[in-house]
Amino acid sequence: MDRVAVIQYCLSGITHGSVYAIVAIGFNIIYNTTGIINFAQGEFVIAGAMTAISLSAVVPLPAAIALAVLLTMLLGGLIELVFIRQARDASVLRLIIITIGLSIVIREAMLHIWDEKVRSLPFFTGTDTSTVTLAGAHISTQALWVLGVCAVIVAALTAFYRFTATGRAMRACADNRMAARLCGINERRMVTLSFMLSAGIGALAGCVISPVTQTQYDMGAPLAIKGFTVAVLGGLGNSMAAVAAGLLLGLLEAFTVSQFQVAYKEAVSIVVLLLVLVCRPSGLFARRGIVALGGS
Amino acid sequence: MRRRRYLPILAGVIFVIALQAVLSAVGATYYMTQVTMSAYYALVVIGLCLLMGYAGQVSLGHAGFFAIGGYTSAVLTTCNLIAWRESPWVCGCRMLGLVVERQDLYGATLLSFAPWPALMAALVVAGLVAFLIGVPILRLRGHYLAMASLGFGLIIYRIVLGTPLFGQADGVSNVPPFRLAGGLQINGRPAFRVQNYYLAWAAVLASMVLAVNLVHSRVGRALRSIHQNEEAAHSLGVDTYRYKLAVLVLSALLAAAGGVLLTHYNGSIGPSEVTVMKSVRYVAIVAVGGMANLWGAMVMGVVLNFLSLRGVFGTYDDAVFGLILIAMMLFAPEGLLRADWWRTALSRFRRARHA
């Protein structure tokens, strides 16, 4: 491979990897406040993109995306209020199965609303052929959008967690739920909020990546697997590490495509997932030795 | 105690015979085809019930084991060894009856493995894969185990879709019938409908006897102790890891057996048997039957698969199973087929009416 090709693969890897990172952060937000892995995370991403695609036919693109993000946040909040709250004392096994059921129902609902056609949002700026040249390699303007939006999401989330009272309250819940409750933090509200936040950033990620990868009703599950792989790779609950892990998986996939058939691209993340789970379940960047695995 | 354990088996036998009599009497024998297929799917459910309900280990990849069984048998019984006819290995296998000659649809001579050795090979492969995959992933718990088993199922799906030997998206077809002793054979043709109905039920009831006995043995008690509190079980000297591994292998064997038998019955197997949705569907069925309720799981395995195969749910097929999962986990995590659940639901209903 020459130098330009390497840069080209890197850019493509980083673009996809940053979306995986956002999905992983979505997993982490909910995991931190509830201890649940939300198997419907991928469906949030697709639901957001699909809603934006439908809305963009009637309102301008920025408004469509904003509305889609809001609607998906509502969906996330509703799911928490109606289903997760009911099963508050359930075991992990039950909660896993509930979120799996939710992901299926949302997916099937999307199939009946938007059929099985592959759709996509228009490119935010320029057309599908407009590119920017970077050190000899070409990058689509949409890829720059993806990178930019993902960076903004990460920065905004960091600021939210660090500087706002609500963000601090959510972190307190993640750290010690009982202590947070004793300090007068409404823990249930934080859980609802975490579902909304997670759905919202998932939807936004779905919107920016839609012009690049297209959107179809059943693309949520593979995306969720990759997001989960990234979340585990970085260590569950650790959002900053998830960014690094996401870029790592993106690069790994990009270079696999350069060496093997495209068909194996899907398998990369699963193999990485199984390897990490078996060899280093606390994640690549874990500082503390052993982290409790699952538990109840 | 022992007599009570076999009472449901006897009831099952009577029900099976009665159902056949009724269906034949009203001339609706075509229902028997779907009942037969559902019964083979129920084998997977029985195995998964042992793993999930009794040992408390989630598997979102059981369709993978079903497929390993079905595809191994399908490939071995449809491959053509005619080019190696002269090799001593093939000649030896032929003399032992492991390799048989038959004519395909167009009259060409096929030299492929007989169903019996293919079944054995399928079980060995499935058991071995379960063991190898179980050694690392059964150390995980909760979400980690769920995702790892999901990953296993996805890898099997990718392998099936990407390998020309497995027919890729088309699957493997023209799988020959499975000739058993005494003129019986597993064959999907209408002429064999009644005997296949009984053969499938015999397989299901035999598995039930095995599973029920296992559950009531020392092993079963150890498994339940793992489900309730793994640390406590471990501290009492239960080798939790070995028991979990053994149950995973057993449930993989049951799933693979279901896969082999259904493949011979249908004469084909395709990648739709390996999807994540299939695995989730098995989990849903175990959940409806009541996690730790073998009879409930078996009955639901037959009933829900039958309804699905008849197309009762239409385009909402997957959605129905998703809703079942949510509803069961929210309202009746112990399953529907439990007397105490109905009693509390009934008393709640009465109280609501009086209030």
- Widest CA span in chain A: 60
The pLDDT tens digits for B154-210 are: 889 988 888 888 888 888 888 888 888 777 888 888 888 888 899 999 999 999 999
In chain B, whose CA is at the least distance from the CA of A79? Answer: B326
Contacts 24+ apart (CB under 8 A), A65-69: A65/A121, A65/A204, A65/A207, A68/A203, A68/A207, A69/A200, A69/A203, A69/A204, A69/A207
Q: Which of A94, A96, A225 sits opposite B143 (nearest CB)?
A: A96
- Proportion of chain A in helix, strand, coil states, percent, rounded to 5: 75, 5, 25
Separation CA B292–CA B276 (nearest Å) = 23
Q: Give B-chain residues touching A277 at CB under 8 angstroms.
A: 136-137, 140, 144, 147-148
Give all strands (DSSP E) within B142-243, no chain letters.
178-179, 185-186
Residue B40 has a pLDDT of 93
Contact assignment for B158 to A94 by CB distance below 8 Å: no
In a 13 Å sphere around the CA of B155, the CA atoms on its Cβ side amount to: 17
DSSP string covering B327-348, please? HHHHH-TT-SS-HHHHHHHHHH
Specify the length of chain A in residues: 296
Residues from chain B contacting residue A100 (CB–CB below 8 Å): 60, 280, 283, 322, 325
Q: With the CA atoms of A66, A69, A70 and A74 taken in that order, what torsion angle do they form, in degrees rounded to the nearest 10?
A: 170
Interface size between A and B, measured as CB pairs under 8 A: 121
* B117-144 pLDDT, tens digit each: 899 999 999 999 999 999 888 888 778 8
Residue contact A293–B318, C-beta within 8 A: no
Which residues of chain A from 97 to 116 reach within 8 Å of chain B, CB to CB? 97-98, 100-105, 107-109, 112
User: Left, alpha or beta for B56 (phi > 0: left; psi -120 to 50: alpha)?
Assistant: left
How close is the nearest chain B Cα to the Cα of A84, in Å? Answer: 9
| Residue B288 contacts residue B336 (beta carbons within 8 Å) | yes
In a domain, B347, yes or no: no
In a 3-state reduction of DSSP, which class is residue B111? strand
Buried b (16+ CB within 10 A) or exposed e, A167-177: bebbbbbbeeb
A204 to chain B nearest CA, in Å?
25
CA diameter of chain B: 84
Q: Which of B140, B147, B155, B274 to mutate to test the interface with A (most CBs of A within 10 A)?
A: B147
Whether B99 maps to a domain, the answer reads no
Helix (H, G, I), strand (E, B) or coil at B172: strand
Q: Which of B137, B313, B326 best tests the A interface by mutation, with the highest count of A CBs <10 A?
A: B326
The pTM (predicted TM-score) of the whole model is 0.86
Cβ atoms A237, A123 nearer than 8 A: no
CA–CA distance, B199 with B178 (Å, rounded to integer): 11
Question: What is the pLDDT at residue A41?
Answer: 92
Rounded CA separation A241/A25 (Å):
9
Encode A42-79: b = buried (16+ Cβ within 10 Å), e = exposed: bbbbbbbbbbbbebbeeeeeeebbbbbbebbbebbbeb
Count of CB atoms within 10 A of residue B216's CB?
A: 13
Residues on B contacting A at a C-beta cutoff of 8 Å: 52, 56, 58, 60, 136-137, 139-148, 150-152, 154-155, 158, 161-162, 276-277, 280, 283-284, 287, 315-316, 318-319, 321-326, 329-330, 333
Whether the CB-CB separation of B204 and B37 falls below 8 Å is answered with: no
Q: What is the DSSP string of A186-200?
A: -HHHHHHHHHHHHHH
- Closest chain A residue to B322, measured at CA: A101
Give me the amino acid identity at B12: G
Nearest to A7 by CA among A102, A148, A137: A137
State the best of A85, A93, A94 to mutate against chain B, taking most chain B CBs within 10 Å.
A93
pLDDT (0 to 100) of residue A292: 37
Closest by Cα among B296, B308, B300 to B340: B296
B100 inside domain? no
Interatomic CA distance for residues B244 and B65, integer angstroms: 16
What pLDDT score was predicted for residue A286?
66
A128-133: long-range contacts (C-beta < 8 A, 24 or more apart)? A128/A211
Q: Specify the DSSP element, H or E, that contains A140.
A: strand A137-140
| Nearest by Cα to A116 from A45, A217, A47 | A217
Domain count, chain B: 1
User: So what's the pLDDT on residue A289?
Assistant: 42
Residue B308 lies in a domain: yes
Give yes or no for A62 touching B (CB within 8 A): no
Flag if B154 and A278 touch (Cβ within 8 Å). Answer: no
pLDDT of B1 reads 53
Bridge partner residues of B186 (DSSP):
B178
- Beta-bridge partners for A215: A119
**Is B107 within a domain?**
no
Pick the residue from chain B with its C-alpha nearest to A93.
B142
CB nearest to A267's CB, from B155, B283, B326 = B155
Query: What value, to the nearest 5°, has the Cα angle with vertex B141 and ends B70 and B333?
Result: 80
One pLDDT digit (tens) per residue for chain A, 296 residues:
688 888 888 888 999 999 999 999 999 999 888 888 898 999 999 999 999 999 999 999 999 999 999 999 999 999 999 988 888 777 777 888 899 899 999 999 999 999 888 888 888 887 777 778 777 778 888 888 999 999 999 999 999 989 999 999 988 888 888 888 888 888 888 999 999 999 999 999 999 999 888 888 888 888 888 999 999 888 888 888 899 999 999 999 888 887 777 667 778 888 888 888 888 877 777 655 444 333 33
Q: Work out the burial of residue B146: count CB atoms within 10 Å of its CB; fewer than 13 is exposed, 13-18 middle, 19 or more buried.
A: buried
What residues make up the domain containing B178? Answer: 2-77+114-337
Residues of chain B under the 50 pLDDT cut: none
Q: Tell me whether residue B353 is in a domain.
A: no
Beta-strand ranges (E) seen in chain B are 99-103, 109-113, 178-179, 185-186
Residue A37's nearest CA partner among A104, A107, A84, A106 is: A84
DSSP code of B192?
G
d(CA A49, CA A53): 6
Q: What's the Rg (C-alpha) of chain B?
A: 21
Candidates B81, B87, B78; CA nearest to B178 is: B78
Q: How far apart are CA A75 and CA A79, in angstroms?
A: 6
Q: Residue A71: beta bridge partners?
A: none
Instruction: Answer yes or no: do A270 and B141 touch at CB < 8 A.
Output: no
List the one residue out of B249, B250, B251, B253 whose CA is nearest residue B131: B249
Which among B256, B296, B300 is positioned nearest to B47, based on CA atoms? B256
Residue the block writes with tokens 């209408």: B190
* Residue B200 falls inside a structural domain: yes
For residue B154, give the nearest of A270, A278, A295 by CB distance: A270
This complex has an ipTM of: 0.82
- Cβ B136–A270 below 8 Å, yes or no? no
Residue in chain B closest to A232 (alpha carbons) equals B144
Smallest CA–CA distance from A94 into chain B, residue: B329
Question: What per-residue confidence (pLDDT) applies to A290?
Answer: 40
**What domains, with CATH codes, occur in chain A?**
3-279 (1.10.3470)
B51 min Cα distance to partner chain A (Å): 13
Place of tokens 């399953």: B335
- Best of B329, B330, B331, B334 to disrupt the A interface by mutation (most A CBs within 10 Å)? B329
| B94 inside domain | no
Pairwise CA distance, residues A132 & A139, whole Å? 5
Gap from B156 CA to chain A (nearest CA, Å): 10
